[in-house]
Structure 1
Amino acid sequence: MKTKQILEEAIDMIQYYLKEMDQYTPTQFTWKPSEDEWSLGQMMNHLIDAAYGLQLGAIAKCADDEAVTHGQKTEVGERVYQEGVFPSIRIKLPNDPRFVPENPNDKEEIKVKLLQLQEKLKEVEPLLVAIPTERTVKHRWLGELNAHEWFQLIPMHFRHHLRQKERIDQMLGNGGIQ
């Protein structure tokens, strides 16, 4: 897939989430279905944090020649990139403060962060062509990924969390959370 197309998908996902956020009250946006599940706001912080800290961070390592030039994707990684989506499974991160995203104070801070991420992706996309594809950085489940694949992971990750959003939406509708 071409990087411009990946960028368009990422922007479409960001715009979708921005639009969807308008339907939630502040209480709904920060409501947690249970103690060990995330609110919509935490999910959004997770997407933003992963984009900056993991995906864009790995792209920067590939660009700065910090990447390795050996290794390959895992079997799961091969399947994810062939299909262009994560498997339809719930991935549970450790219940550790390092992996639990902050519950935001309000929706506006998330909107600002999403718009900033959108601009950052527009800056990064044209730089990808100059990064050698043999430079890779390891993802814990997917294996060695090059800068293009890390960039492609951003909209895939946003799409993956649509299932989580749908589950929370159903609980909000059934629970009458205002």
Structure 2
Amino acid sequence: MSVKSDQNNILQSLKFYSSFLKTVNEEVFLKTPQQGEWSYSEVYAHIFSAHILSVIAIEKCLNKTAELKIRKPDWRVRLILFFGRFPPVKYKVPAVLADAVKKISKEDAANQLVKLQKRIEDIHVGFSKFNPHYKVKHPRLGYLDAKAWLRFILVHSKHHQRQIKRIEKMLQTI
């Protein structure tokens, strides 16, 4: 779970989103599979807004403008980050992110994906000044340091890759 390996794994995950985007047409991209479920478009909007906020949290930690907290995250959070997977429970999006979940076009998604990839590629530079005591609060996981935020991006990205595959199955049955 080094910074470099997490960064590379995140970039691999973003390649999945890029490749998938090329395979789906605009109409299907925007289509809601069933009541209460997100469209591909909404998943993309969510991951972009969540990951950009996560990158900002990382930057705050690395620039030492975050809060100084000595305590480690809860054991459950550490397990999520260690195993790289959320428990198999459906989560409600935190209110702070729910407003950002809207439908975006494929072009918007492609542009935001390029920007996010660039931010992730550049992020490792700041880790030379990493201090585990500078933390920013996550809406569900509590206070995370820069390495934990980077790991969260990976876990979150993979979580939504699985969601994309579930949506694909739902749309095939319609």
Same-fold call, TM > 0.5? yes
Look up the SS of the partner of 2:68 in the other structure: coil
Asked if structure 2 preserves the Cα contact closer than 8 Å seen for 1:85 and 1:156, the reply is yes
Aligned counterpart, 1:12: 12
Q: Which residue of 1 aligns with 2:154?
A: 155
Deviation at 1:70, TM superposition (A): 2.6
- Any unmatched runs of 5+ in structure 2? none
In the alignment, structure 1 residue 40 sits paired with structure 2 residue 40? yes
* 1:86-135 Cα deviation digits (max 9, x unpaired): 222221226x695141101x212111111111111111112123121121
Amino acid at match of 1:77: V
Hey, what does 2:140 align to over in structure 1? Answer: 141
Q: Deviations over 1:26-76 (max 9, x none)?
A: 1110111234321101101110100112x1121122123222223331232
Structure 1 residues 138-170: Cα deviation after superposition (integer angstroms, max 9, x where no partner)? 223222211011011112111011221122101
8 Å CA contact retained: 1:33, 1:168: yes
What TM-score results when the alignment is normalised by the length of structure 2?
A: 0.90
Matched, 1:49 2:49: yes
Identity %: 24
Q: Is the 8 A contact 2:86 2:155 kept in 1?
A: yes
Does structure 1 retain, via aligned residues, the 8 Å contact 2:48–2:116? yes
Q: What displacement does 1:24 show? A: 1.3
Instruction: Confirm or deny: 8 A CA contact 1:10 1:155 kept in the other structure.
Output: yes
Question: Residues 151 and 98 (structure 1 numbering): CA distance in 2 closer, same or farther, change over 3 Å?
Answer: closer
Q: TM-score, normalised by structure 1?
A: 0.88
* Aligned mates of 1:68, 1:38 — CA distance in 2: 37
Alignment of 1:118 with 2:135, yes or no, is no
User: In 2, are the aligned partners of 1:7 and 1:125 still within 8 Å (CA)?
Assistant: yes
Consecutive unaligned residues in structure 1, runs of 5 or more: none
Name whichever of 9-18 and 126-135 sits farther off. 126-135
Task: Verify the 8 A CA contact 1:14 1:114 in the aligned structure 2.
Answer: yes
Tell me, yes or no, if the aligned pair for 1:136 and 1:146 is still in contact at 8 Å: yes
1:2 aligns with 2:11: no
Q: Distance in 1 between matches of 2:14 and 2:138?
A: 23
